[in-house]
Amino acid sequence: MKETIKQELLRKDRSYVWHPFTQMKDYADRDHVLIEKAEGIYIYDADGRRFYDTVSSWWCNLHGHGHPRIKEAIRQQLDQFDHIMFSGLTHAPGIELAEQLVNITPAGLNKVFYSDNGSTAVEVAIKMSFQYWQQIGRTSKTKFVFLDGSYHGDTLGAVSVGGVQLYHSLFKPLLFHAHRMPAPDLRQARAVGPEGEREVAEAALVKVRELFGREADTLAGFIVEPMLQGAGGMIMTPAAYLQGLRELCTAHGVHLIADEVATGFGRTGKMFACEHAEISPDIMCLSKGLTAGIMPLSVTLCTDDIYDAFYDDYATQKTFFHGHSFTGNPVACAVALASLRLFEEERTLEQAQITIAALAEALGGIARLPHVADVRQLGLVAAFDLYEDAERRHPFPPERRIGAAMYEAGFEEGLILRPLGDTLYYWLPLCATPDDVRDIAARTERVLRRVLG
Ligand code: PMP
């Protein structure tokens, strides 16, 4: 791109755009990186510099950028029809996708409600669960439970069940009350392997048992990011916790709501994170990877039991009055179908296992570096924490803004990194190859040396 055009765009960016999750003053005398092209695992800026998209464009991308089959699906759908209302009208891509999602998600999730982003999928789950209990006459069941460190989106319902102080606490006066439970965190396991996992799971489940024993009559649902709390700091949680939670929710009549907005579609090495624990939730939220990260779309799946509580004569007023303008967008649904075909044709999940093994090996090298602690991995997601004194878990002073420095230095080494505080992570696309992850790890080591000496 010509330098003059680039400078003009960056001037306008600064004049008119307010970027999300961004302190805009940080850009007063520094430019945003202007992107010109994206292909496969790479993103290119206006100066022709190439970066690995190690966070899959906010945890969305699966098969790489610019996949020809996805582009073809968009073209074909646009040749037929573009966006249409999805209430009273229906269309083949929305119908076919719903059927396929019912077939591939955990057993018992038989109905699909469309919306258009992760937060709205969570809002739908909350309202659906709440209305269910009202409609079956258990009107005291109005409260929700969430985990410390959880992140379910930025709309107010999702923030009400959010457990990240930095993002959520300011908005407290606007939120509904929900119960916060301690999150199981595998970093706290004293023993390695299954014994440590059981111990961590049990310590957190004790609290749930206490709450359910006291409050079950007032509880509608328990929302959880299965196996992996993303935005809260890449906290990895044991399968035993999810299994215990499933049993408790069933025993006490509380909906288990699995927020797989981020973990769905293979990112954790299985199609859905719930599969690691072999459990089925009552409600499941999906977005991001649903369209391979190409188009905005989301779904909330639920059981027949929940759906049936809304199914009655109109006069009974059991209708679910919820919907968004871009609900079930046909182009997005066509892309999602193309993505699911790719999973079959390119044996995406099988291929990803080879990369996942290579990633485990590459992380071994990073784990030996100074300042690095708690290297952890689930499928194509890996994370580690940076400390001034890693052994004693003594943090860097906040004013050093280590995470921000890593982000900046990443560009110099051809990496798009997006640390959460002083936690560095990869959220790799399923198209990443073993060579990619080895290269990314080597570049990360250079970034660490650059920033930490
Ligand atoms: N749930 C989870 C687990 C998420 O990670 C996110 C977004 N990172 C959301 C919900 C919200 O999705 P969106 O940003 O599309 O609203």
- Average pLDDT on 90-100 reads 98
CA gap 95, 102 in Å, rounded:
11
Q: Does 123 sit in the ligand 1 pocket, CB within 6 Å?
A: no
Please state the residue numbers annotated as binding site.
Answer: 58, 118-119, 151, 259, 288, 323-325, 418
CB distance 113 to 286 below 8 Å = no
Question: Which tens digit of pLDDT belongs to each residue from 152-169?
Answer: 999 999 999 999 988 888
Q: Does 352 sit in the ligand 1 pocket, CB within 6 Å?
A: no
Cα 153 to ligand 1 centre (Å): 5
Least Cα distance to 129 among 150, 110, 145, 107 occurs for 145
ipTM comes to: 0.99
CA gap 106, 128 in Å, rounded:
19
Give yes or no for residue 18 having a pLDDT over 90: yes
Confidence at residue 286, expressed as pLDDT on a 0 to 100 scale: 99
**Which among 119, 120, 298 is the best mutation to test ligand 1's pocket, defined by most ligand atoms within 8 Å of the CB?**
119
CATH of range 70-345; options 3.30.200.20, 3.40.50.10320, 3.30.420.480, 3.40.640.10: 3.40.640.10
Q: Does 261 sit in the ligand 1 pocket, CB within 6 Å?
A: yes
More confident residue, 58 or 27: 58
Average pLDDT over the chain reads 97
Confidence at residue 28, expressed as pLDDT on a 0 to 100 scale: 81
- Give the lowest-confidence range in 106-120, 125-139, 156-170, 295-309: 156-170
Cα 164 to ligand 1 centre (Å): 13
Count Cβ atoms below 10 Å from residue 438 Cβ, excluding itself: 15
Same fold: 33-63+347-452 with 70-345? no
Q: Does 225 sit in the ligand 1 pocket, CB within 6 Å?
A: yes
Region label for 38, one of left (φ > 0), alpha (ψ between -120 and 50) or beta (otherwise): beta
Confidence at residue 453, expressed as pLDDT on a 0 to 100 scale: 82
Q: Point out the ligand 1 atom lying closest to the alpha carbon of residue 154.
A: 16
Least Cα distance to 111 among 316, 385, 300, 343 occurs for 300
The residue whose C-alpha atom lies closest to atom 5 belonging to ligand 1 is 262
CB distance 348 to 237 below 8 Å = no
Question: Which tens digit of pLDDT belongs to each residue from 160-203?
Answer: 999 998 888 899 999 999 999 999 999 999 988 899 999 999 99
CB distance 450 to 413 below 8 Å = yes
CB distance 285 to 221 below 8 Å = no
Residues contacting residue 400 through CB under 8 Å, at least 6 positions apart: none
Q: Does 131 sit in the ligand 1 pocket, CB within 6 Å?
A: no
Q: Does 381 sit in the ligand 1 pocket, CB within 6 Å?
A: no
Confidence at residue 293, expressed as pLDDT on a 0 to 100 scale: 98
Q: Does 419 sit in the ligand 1 pocket, CB within 6 Å?
A: no
- Average pLDDT on 100-117 reads 98
- Average pLDDT on 62-67 reads 98
- Average pLDDT on 274-300 reads 98
- CATH class of the domain defined by 33-63+347-452: alpha beta
- Count of alpha carbons within 13 angstroms of residue 121, beta-carbon side: 29
- Average pLDDT on 72-88 reads 97
Question: Which tens digit of pLDDT belongs to each residue from 2-11?
Answer: 999 999 999 9
Handedness of CA 207, 210, 215, 219 (dihedral sign): positive
- Confidence grade of residue 416 (pLDDT, cut at 50, 70, 90): very high
The residue whose C-alpha atom lies closest to atom 1 belonging to ligand 1 is 152
Question: Which tens digit of pLDDT belongs to each residue from 235-283?
Answer: 999 999 999 999 999 999 999 999 999 999 999 999 999 999 999 999 9
Please state the residue numbers annotated as binding site for substrate.
Answer: 58, 151, 288, 323, 418
User: What is the pTM (predicted TM-score) of this model?
Assistant: 0.98
Give yes or no for residue 370 having a pLDDT over 90: yes
Structural domain spans, the chain? 33-63+347-452, 70-345
Count Cβ atoms below 10 Å from residue 196 Cβ, excluding itself: 15
